[in-house]
């Protein structure tokens, strides 16, 4: 792109691990100048996942593109002064230290605002400061458990499981970006900076709203349902085809249901009193699942996906990562390559936002 939307925005990033780095990567994608300040030991995620070379891991690269990286020991006066110089003309300052650490290092809200009253000061925390949980350490898996997210994830009649990506870190990162962009608009009107706090637990519970409201009205505790969608809509789940591969079928309304019954050669199911309406199908979901699974075992996955998509019925294959990176669409629109000194050509995922059909892309990858 000739011009990115956040060009001219300077972000001083003291975050580590995942939630903060994910947020600042988005800002970097959108054109902000992000200066990632690491301790002399480096971000802990440099050793997470596959370590490509000493101090560089796949996890770290995925979370830290479009940033300039420096290392400062903020316990030393000289390095703290260097940080203060960066802050003087910055627009955003973001940290995710445990409660009390920013104060000990001299990078707390009051100190940073005295240096630059126009700065947006962002704190990502596990829990709200001042709460009974404020001193608890928080990683994604802790928050997945405490938020209830893990309790609705997993196979039916099985144990709870975590989501396969650090989803609560990412949700928190998204909310941090929303908060920053909103605060910049406020600053446009007032001329002054703003303090933003984004707790991970609160962010995760926000996306649990459909389950919380369901429980409050019914007093029924939501449970894991595998690939099914609560007691909301059916069939809306994964099925296994005759070749052992899985696909998703999403019958979102009664109109699609009637078309689906015609397409699979079972038109009589459309008016079967057990399945005629969505509430009927939800009520008799187990029986319907067994019936459809028997039908789907007669053909391979690709047959069913092609048949459904050609008839306007929402469906798609269940991919693993090796399938994903071979997909034609993914290679054309999602993946991009960047040349990284010392690492060669590295494939990364593009930012999905298109501005006049152009993706912001990955401009550089420092480590």
Evaluate if residue 2 carries a pLDDT over 80: no
CA distance 12 to 110: 16
Q: How crowded is residue 66: how many other Cβ atoms within 10 Å of its Cβ?
A: 27
Report yes or no: 91 and 180 within 8 Å, Cβ to Cβ. Answer: no
CA distance 236 to 252: 7
Tokens of 331: 């290679």
Separation of CA 70 from chain center: 26
What's 84's DSSP letter?
H
* Model confidence band, residue 226 (pLDDT cutoffs 50, 70, 90): very high
Evaluate if residue 252 carries a pLDDT over 80: yes
The percentage of residues in the chain with a pLDDT greater than 90, rounded to a whole number, is 97
* Model confidence band, residue 169 (pLDDT cutoffs 50, 70, 90): very high
Mean predicted confidence (pLDDT) in 164-185: 98
At 333 the pLDDT is 97
pLDDT one-digit tens code per residue, 299-337:
999 999 999 999 999 999 999 999 999 999 999 999 999
Evaluate if residue 229 carries a pLDDT over 90: no
The percentage of residues in the chain with a pLDDT greater than 70, rounded to a whole number, is 100
At 158 the pLDDT is 86
User: Is 140 tagged catalytic?
Assistant: no
Tokens of 334: 């999602």
How many residues are listed for the chain in this entry?
367
Among the four given CATH numbers 3.90.1010.10, 3.20.20.30, 2.170.130.10, 3.40.50.10540, the one describing domain 10-206? 3.40.50.10540
Q: How crowded is residue 11: how many other Cβ atoms within 10 Å of its Cβ?
A: 23
pLDDT one-digit tens code per residue, 186-206:
999 999 999 999 999 999 999
* Model confidence band, residue 231 (pLDDT cutoffs 50, 70, 90): confident
236-318 has which fold?
A: formyl-coa transferase, domain 3 (3.30.1540)
CA distance 133 to 143: 12
Going from N- to C-terminal start, the domains of the chain cover: 10-206, 236-318
At 266 the pLDDT is 98
Kind of pairing between the strands at 51-53 and 33-38: unpaired
Out of 169, 280, 302, 327, the active site residue is 169
Classified as helix, coil or strand, 70 is: strand
């Amino acid at each position: 792109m000739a011009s990115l939307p956040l060009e001219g925005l300077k972000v001083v990033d003291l975050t580590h691990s995942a939630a903060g780095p994910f947020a600042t990567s988005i800002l970097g994608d959108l054109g902000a100048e992000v200066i990632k300040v690491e301790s002399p030991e480096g971000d802990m995620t440099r050793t997470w996942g596959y370590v490509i070379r000493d101090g560089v891991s796949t996890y770290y690269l995925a979370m830290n593109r479009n940033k300039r990286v420096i290392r400062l020991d903020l316990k030393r006066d000289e390095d703290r002064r260097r940080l203060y110089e960066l802050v003087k003309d910055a627009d955003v300052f973001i940290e995710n230290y445990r409660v009390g650490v920013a104060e000990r290092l001299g990078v707390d809200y009051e100190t940073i605002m005295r240096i630059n009253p126009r700065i947006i000061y962002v704190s990502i925390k596990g829990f709200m400061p001042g709460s009974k949980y404020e001193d608890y350490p928080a990683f994604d898996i802790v928050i997945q458990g405490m938020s209830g997210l893990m309790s609705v994830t997993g196979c039916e009649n099985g144990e709870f499981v975590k989501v396969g990506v650090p989803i609560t870190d990412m949700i928190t990162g998204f909310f941090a970006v929303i908060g920053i962009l909103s605060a910049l608009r406020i600053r446009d009107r007032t001329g002054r900076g703003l303090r933003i706090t984004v707790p991970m637990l609160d962010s995760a519970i926000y996306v649990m709203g459909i389950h919380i409201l369901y429980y409050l009205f019914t007093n029924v505790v939501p449970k894991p349902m595998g690939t099914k969608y609560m007691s909301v809509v059916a069939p809306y789940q994964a099925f296994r085809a005759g070749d052992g591969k899985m696909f998703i079928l999403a019958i979102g309304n009664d109109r699609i249901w009637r078309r689906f019954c015609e397409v699979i050669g079972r038109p009589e199911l459309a008016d079967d009193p057990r399945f005629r309406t969505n509430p009927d199908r939800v009520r008799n979901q187990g029986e319907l699942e067994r019936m459809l699974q028997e039908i789907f075992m007669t053909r391979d996955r690709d047959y069913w996906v092609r048949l459904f998509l050609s008839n306007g019925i929402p469906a798609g294959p269940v991919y693993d990562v090796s399938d994903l990176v071979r997909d034609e669409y993914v290679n054309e629109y999602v993946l991009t390559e960047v040349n990284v000194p010392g690492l060669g050509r590295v494939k990364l995922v593009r930012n999905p936002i298109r501005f006049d059909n152009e993706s912001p892309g990955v401009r550089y990858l420092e480590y």
